[in-house]
Amino acid sequence: MAAPTGRMVSAGPREGAQGRHARRFIVGIAAIAALGGALFGYDTGVISGALPFMEGHFGLTSLGEGIITSALLIGAAFGSLIGGRMSDALGRRNSLLWAGAVFIGGALAVALAPDVPFMTVARFVLGLAVGSASVITPLYLSEVAPPHIRGRLVSFNSLMIVSGQLLAYLINAFLAQWAAWRWMLGLAALPAVALFVGLFFVPDTPRWYISKGRQDEAARVLRRTLPAEELPAELARIDHARSLEADARRGGRQQLRTPWIRRLLLAEMFPLKVRGLAMGAAVFVMWLVNFGVALVFPLLLDAVGAGTTFWFFGAMCVLSLVFCKRYAPETKGLALEDLEDELRKAAGAAPAAA
């Protein structure tokens, strides 16, 4: 099967009624899916305002505070692995539906927790949803968006994460006068319901449909995001990448041994066959590090003081900046399949579309 040619699927936004309809469709998908990012931000940020009141209610020590805070993060680590696997098996949309249901149940459980063990378990369960959403949401947006706006949509998810954190801080400040920490935690159920209901009105991604042999459904989604003349080439490009991966008979663990995959962390950069698995593995490591930070942060403050603690984390940020500057490739304007070819060439491997 000959590989489709061309480096970009779409050069820019379309004009006319069809273009406006496509933009509304994509913006609607982004608004619904990015609620997962908002919940991610809210549930990780709200604990800072609730914890001082929980300390008095439950009689928490510094270690107890660290355990309750980090329970969500260790749950998120495992949730990222579950979400990555689930998104490959069940689809990006259906996996977000599962995460939305857990967001609802988890928010209500932490709000009603009668004691520390229950709160710890409830925060862990809520973390499963946070971790799943942190993998699936950017994956969903990156696969459904045309190349010329993909970066903006994935960045919009990041904006929703920090917006969720800001909302948590504002609600904390408002409810603090009544020490209403249970309301602080429980209000997260409202956007979770909106996410769960909204997902019934959006499709899955064309790339996932094609990976399951459902070309007709993939074409229906692409028809709403691309000009008609670009549809055959895009379908051929995605199907070609999928068939080459199937012919190679390379499983998830074999793909992850490839050098350029080991160092890449973003939703755009993994092959379709292992995109959910690889994103889950990368985010799993991220949440494990977050868990460690949340667990030791109160202990570090007590042991060495705030100044030394923040200097240490500042140095870690500088090292991360150097890593991104040196190793992270540019993805602007490239179709996901073309990006995979570029990364293979950079690593000295044969391109998928050979």
- Asked, for residue 140, whether it belongs to a domain, the answer is yes
pLDDT digits (tens, 9 = 90+) for 295-330: 788 778 888 888 888 898 889 889 888 887 787 666
Kindly state the percentage of the chain with pLDDT values over 90: 39
pLDDT, residue 317, reads 86
pLDDT digits (tens, 9 = 90+) for 163-185: 999 999 999 999 999 999 999 99
Report the largest interatomic distance among the alpha carbons of the chain, rounded to a whole angstrom: 68
pLDDT, residue 354, reads 45
pLDDT, residue 130, reads 93
Supply φ then ψ for residue 11, to 5 degrees. Answer: -80, -20
Is the pLDDT at 6 greater than 60, yes or no?
no
- Asked, for residue 3, whether it belongs to a domain, the answer is no
Residues 6+ apart with CB under 8 A from 112: 182, 186
Contact between 72 and 47 (Cβ < 8 Å): yes
Q: Which of 54-68, 99-113, 160-174 has the lowest mean pLDDT?
A: 54-68
Range 182-199 average pLDDT: 97
pLDDT digits (tens, 9 = 90+) for 68-95: 988 998 898 899 889 888 998 999 999 9
Is the pLDDT at 266 greater than 50, yes or no?
no
Contact between 33 and 27 (Cβ < 8 Å): no
Q: For residue 311, give the amino acid letter.
A: W
- Asked, for residue 195, whether it belongs to a domain, the answer is yes
- Asked, for residue 269, whether it belongs to a domain, the answer is yes
pLDDT digits (tens, 9 = 90+) for 207-229: 899 888 898 999 999 898 888 88
* Most confident option among 66-70, 162-166, 240-244: 162-166
- Asked, for residue 12, whether it belongs to a domain, the answer is no
Is the pLDDT at 235 greater than 80, yes or no?
yes
pLDDT, residue 80, reads 87
pLDDT, residue 5, reads 46
The total number of structural domains in the chain stands at 1
- Asked, for residue 226, whether it belongs to a domain, the answer is yes
> Tokens at residue 236, please?
């051929």
DSSP-derived letter for residue 354 is: -
pLDDT, residue 143, reads 87
The helix (H) or strand (E) run that includes residue 3 is none
pLDDT digits (tens, 9 = 90+) for 333-348: 555 556 666 666 665 5
CATH number of the domain that residue 328 is part of: 1.20.1250.20
pLDDT, residue 341, reads 65
Is the pLDDT at 233 greater than 80, yes or no?
yes
Phi-psi category of residue 348: left, alpha or beta, with phi > 0 → left and psi -120 to 50 → alpha: left
Range 101-123 average pLDDT: 97
Is the pLDDT at 274 greater than 80, yes or no?
no
- Asked, for residue 164, whether it belongs to a domain, the answer is yes
The DSSP line for 210-258 is HHTT-HHHHHHHHHTTS-GGGHHHHHHHHHHHHHHHHHHT--HHHHHTS
Range 254-278 average pLDDT: 50
Domain span at residue 316 reads 17-346
Q: Which residue has the higher pLDDT, 18 or 343?
A: 18
- Asked, for residue 352, whether it belongs to a domain, the answer is no
pLDDT, residue 178, reads 95
Is the pLDDT at 1 greater than 50, yes or no?
no
The DSSP line for 99-119 is HHHHHHHHHHHHHH--SHHHH
